[in-house]
Chains A and B, each alone.
Chain A
Amino acid sequence: MDILIENGVFVERIKGRDPIVINAERKVILPGGVDLHSHFAGSKVTLGRLLRPEEHRLRHQFGNSGNHIGTGWATPTPFLCGYLYSKLGYAKIVEPAVPPLKARHTHEEMRGIPYMDKMSLLLLGNSWIIMDLIAQKRLKLLEKYVLWVLWASKTYGIKLVAPGSGEAWAWGKSITHIDDEIPNFSITPKDIIYNLARVNKEIGLKTPVHLHTNNLGSPGNYQTTIDSLKTVENLGLRDGDSPFIIHLVHAQFSSYKGDSWKTFSSGSEEVAAYINSNSHVSFDLGQIIFSNTTTMTADGAWQYNLYRLTGGKWINNDVENETASGIVPYTFKRKNYVNAIQWAVGLELALLVKDPWKLAVTTDHPNGGVFTSYPVIIAWLMNKKFRERTIEKINSKAKHIIILPSIDREYTLFETVIVTRSAPARIMGVKDGATIGIGKEANLAIYDLGDPERDLGENPVKLIKGLSSANYNIKNGLIVMKNGVPVQDFNGVTYYSGGVNESEELTELVDYYFKEYYTVEKENYIVQKGEVMHPVNVLEEVFK
């Protein structure tokens, strides 16, 4: 069978002469991968690089054959990041935590990441403007403001990180329940989740609200997670490719039982049962990998807790009236009781949720591990024996209480393609970019996974090796990588949403906050299209 590509798309017949022919006999050909949650660009990634020079000694690439140099293990520099993703066979990546004020910086870095199409999600869960508008019940204006701020930052969708909790933490307080009132705002995290999920549906964004739950990382948080998902149950489904109303990010970190670190255990059965019986939720794994990494999130409160547990170097940051963040180096250890449970929770969720279209493989890069570990996760999902080999090596107390050993399910190769390509593309609303079909974007990865007649999951070592380095990565019809080596320069597009407003009420609102609170002028805050690599607005540029 032949796959034909011309002018960047799959075609039925080639019109031009002398096409390049690739013999992919006995190889596995997949659509380019889609990573819908990976912290690869922006101010906290840069701060992570500054905090951990030692991490940059773990991986460096010299400039050979015209490609750019780069360093970094968990926080690779932009060029290296693009090369690594491309080597893995990926085509589209999503930076999931952009404070509006730091959007320009994020785009500056994304411009330097070759090959990938990029999207980014805007942090709105602790924004004073958002919380004020909800408290004042000015919900129509809220819709307009969300469209404006997405446009101003050239970002793609909404991200909520522990809504309200960063704000409370800045006052030295904590929010432990989604019905707790946020200091100074007389609303609750639940109000934020509900209203932004509703706004998201109303204004027709292409991807659901992405939620990082309150109490993330803490024992017993699975109840908070289910409560948060229930909050938006009655909103119905969304129109378009992505029907989900809410996307639960790195669900692994939000699915724990127990009331202390000693009684810490897996809540994967409860969370998976909820997801199985409801159709409005999609999620990604946030699988942990036993290794050293640099954790980073907008959840400032949680990072402060993590710093107190580890006692090493750390950064916490407050981004004016918008959000917070924190960065803490961390090592996930097999023999650590809590880490061993966390490892199991991720895989349990992937194996207990029946419909692969609801989930995406991620490590919450770099929080659970680095994205170059994805092939290992695929091997764990496809091969029960391979899981058992890891289970043998983990903490012995944890080994006896996890349910993972009792799960027999093994993913088929087809299912792994869904959870690394089709499902994340659908959740992000870019389904056509991850499909092999006539007229669709020609993004392909060609892998040598051994004898295709045999069960590819059978030999995990070969599978991991094959998936880690694609023979070819073809992006928009161009061969960009060959056996892990960059072949030519190419920059993908940057998708964004939102539009410029023509509403006096909105102008008045925004001007007020810039006058009263921001340290920058509105004119300097707005990211211009010229600052973005190949910008593509998926909504109307001007709205009424």
Chain B
Amino acid sequence: MRKIILTFKGHGRPVLVYNISPSVFRSKSLDQLKKLEVKSGNKTYQLKDFFIIEEEEPVIEPVETIIIENSTFNLKRIGEKMDTGRIVVNGDAGMHLGAYMKGGEIIVNGSVDDWCGAEMSGGMINILENAGNFLGANYIGSLEGMRGGVIKVEGSTKDFTGMRMAGGAIIVKRNCGSFLGYYMVNGEITVEASSGSETGSRMRGGVINIYGSAEIGVGFKKVGLNYITSEGKKLTLHVFRGDSIESGEGEIRIREVSK
């Protein structure tokens, strides 16, 4: 399998690397890859200006894996719109990682900034540390956020996780900020710790599971109990339906409601 290793030389300002994607790299030669367009500030650069590019097993077949070394929050739009293959990010990743992604897999051995997986419709994103705001959310103006695929975060996330989510799954191992699943219409979010205020606010459909505590609005009515087992522990979850302000049919299952 052909593998490309990109070592980021570092840059003091954000760099837009939407072309770092197996869907763009495909069968391009090393020379062609070096010349791929990269933007920073108001200028256009080439990939080789910011990265040392190495190739493993240069066979005549599409690129399967891209490894980014020394990555920082300054690398924005990694894997945007990708539909196949694998990206491994060693370090942190900037905003819009995997936005509009249709397929394939991204693994980040670090944290990601805001808008990770925004409006994605397929594929898998695995974050080994924390995520920022608007994880799997919609961009401003669109009516639907994430539509399919899976995002897994081993650490915590900030506000508006899964905003207007319309399908797929988000799994967060630690805490979430406020407005989790804001305007959510479908799909499933599982938070294995706690979430902040306005959880599920204006939710119309879909499911939110919270194994810790969360604050929910008056638009949610308790409809029963749910018994589950998570990592060998038995949990009793209170099941709520809402948000009634949107005549919503969403479900929040929560271990403890905080005030």
Contacts and interface: CB of A to CB of B under 8 A. Distances in A.
A54 B140 CA distance: 7
A55 B140 CA distance: 10
A308 interface: no
Contacts, number: 13
B111 to A, nearest CB: 26
B224 interface: no
A312 B140 contact: no
A52 B142 CA distance: 8
A452 interface: no
Interface residues of B, number: 6
B143 A52 contact: no
Contacts of A63: 42
B143 A312 contact: yes
Interface string B129-148: 00000000001111100000
A53 B143 CA distance: 11
A185 B42 CA distance: 57
Which residue of A52, A54, A55 has the most chain B CB atoms within 10 A of its CB atom? A54
Chain A interface size range? under 10
A140 interface: no
Contacts of B140: 53-54
A57 interface: yes
Contacts of B142: 54
- Determine the main DSSP class of A at the interface with B: helix
Which residue of B140, B141, B142, B143 has the most chain A CB atoms within 10 A of its CB atom? B141
Interface string B115-155: 00000000000000000000000011111000000000000
A512 to B, nearest CB: 44
Interface string A271-312: 000000000000000000000000000000000000000001
B143 A57 contact: no
Nearest to B140: A53
A55 B141 contact: yes
A474 to B, nearest CB: 30
Contacts of B42: 63
A121 B142 CA distance: 33
A63 B142 CA distance: 26
Contacts of B143: 312
Interface string A41-82: 000000000011111010000010000000000000000000
A189 B155 CA distance: 66
Contacts of A57: 139
B223 to A, nearest CB: 27
Interface of A: 51-55, 57, 63, 312
Interface of B: 42, 139-143
Closest 4 CB pairs of A and B: A54-B141, A53-B141, A54-B142, A53-B140
8 contacts: A51-B141, A52-B141, A53-B140, A54-B141, A54-B142, A55-B141, A63-B42, A312-B143
